Amino acid sequence: MLLTIDCGNTNTVFAIWDGTEFVASWRRATNAHSTGDEYYTWLRTSMTLRSLDVEITECIISSTVPRVVFNLRVLCDRYYDTRPLVVGKPDCALPVAPRVDAGTTVGPDRLVNTAAGFDRHGGDLIVVDFGTATTFDVVDHDGAYVGGVIAPGVNLSLEALHMAAAALPHVDITQPQRVVGSNTVACMQSGIFWGYVGLIKEIAARIKSERSRPMKVVSTGGLAPLFQQADTLFDVYEDDLTMHGLTVIHKHNKE
């Protein structure tokens, strides 16, 4: 079975793919200090808790945090006796090569989302991923990643307000009932929520107009549905997009 690992700046998701479907997935905080031994013990326990007894024979990793990759490689090598594919490394082929400025390193998560989006929807896509940062990945008609937009993540924006201003508390994101907040928390939630709705609309519209063609907007990441309920911002929401992309890239490398 294939172990897929998607490491973001905040969380790392591990999932097991049996060739047809994901049989389980687990999420933990990203920590560059976690060792291969720790990952293995935690995964073993997590599998036992679900009465899962599967043999992991292959592994693919996407990591936006380069330092984490070393310990994930140790996990694969020491405990599963397999050399992982690492997205973005020269020995991991992509279905379609990105077209960006020479010398640019594209976030592996964006390459994975591109492969997943193209596999499911074909080309001319905008993939919006709500993570630590909110990324817009533009996928050309032939499936190539051609660039996009990086905006501060929703929680990062809320945290920045709290960190920088002594009188602003830590608040969670939610859709405020009204735009005009009548207390501090409501004001902050309004700024982030409605500001974000505007950001998504404006960026998607400008990408479409810059490229002079209709494009499908695909969203992923836990916060996408919250924004979609306020306005029609996306054509489709796919919770498992990044994990699907890892299976697409793995398959491409095995063919």
Ligand X SMILES: Nc1ncnc2c1ncn2[C@@H]1O[C@H](COP(=O)(O)OP(=O)(O)O)[C@@H](O)[C@H]1O
Ligand Y SMILES: CC(C)(COP(=O)(O)O)[C@@H](O)C(=O)NCCC(=O)O
Residues with a known catalytic role = 109
User: In terms of DSSP H, where are the helices of the chain?
Assistant: 36-49, 68-74, 80, 108-121, 154-164, 184-211, 224-228, 241-254
Nearer to ligand Y, 124 or 137 (CB): 137
Does 222 participate in binding ligand X (rule CB under 6 A)? yes
Report the distance separating Cα 173 and Cα 87, nearest Å: 32
Out of 60, 133, 139, 200, point to the residue binding ligand Y (CB under 6 A). Answer: 133
The residue behind tokens 């501090």 is: 184
Does 155 participate in binding ligand X (rule CB under 6 A)? yes
In the list ligand Y, K ion, ligand X, none, the entry touching 220 (Cβ below 5 to 8 angstroms by class) is none
Does 119 participate in binding ligand Y (rule CB under 6 A)? no
Is 11 annotated in some ligand binding site? Answer: yes
Is 104 annotated in some ligand binding site? Answer: no
Q: Are 15 and 247 in contact (CB under 8 A)?
A: no
Report the distance separating Cα 229 and Cα 205, nearest Å: 19
Which range in 13-21, 38-46, 103-111, 211-219 contacts ligand Y by CB under 6 A?
103-111
Report the distance separating Cα 185 and Cα 107, nearest Å: 33
In the list ligand X, ligand Y, K ion, none, the entry touching 84 (Cβ below 5 to 8 angstroms by class) is none
Is 18 annotated in some ligand binding site? Answer: no
Q: Which one-letter amino acid corresponds to residue 117?
A: G
Q: Are 186 and 168 in contact (CB under 8 A)?
A: no
Q: Which residues pair with 7 in a beta bridge?
A: 12, 63
Does 223 participate in binding ligand X (rule CB under 6 A)? yes
Does 157 participate in binding K ion (rule CB under 5 A)? no
CA dihedral 31, 35, 39, 44 (to 10 degrees): -150
Q: Which residues contact 28 (CB under 8 A, 6 or more apart)?
A: 11, 12, 14, 42
Q: Are 52 and 16 in contact (CB under 8 A)?
A: yes
Is 71 annotated in some ligand binding site? Answer: no
Nearer to ligand X, 80 or 189 (CB): 189
Is 88 annotated in some ligand binding site? Answer: no
Does 108 participate in binding ligand X (rule CB under 6 A)? no
Does 150 participate in binding ligand Y (rule CB under 6 A)? yes
Binding annotation for K(+): 129
Residues at the site binding ligand Y, with contacts judged by CB under 6 A: 8-9, 64, 106-107, 109-110, 131-133, 135, 150
Q: Residues in the site for K ion, rule: CB under 5 A?
A: 129, 131, 135
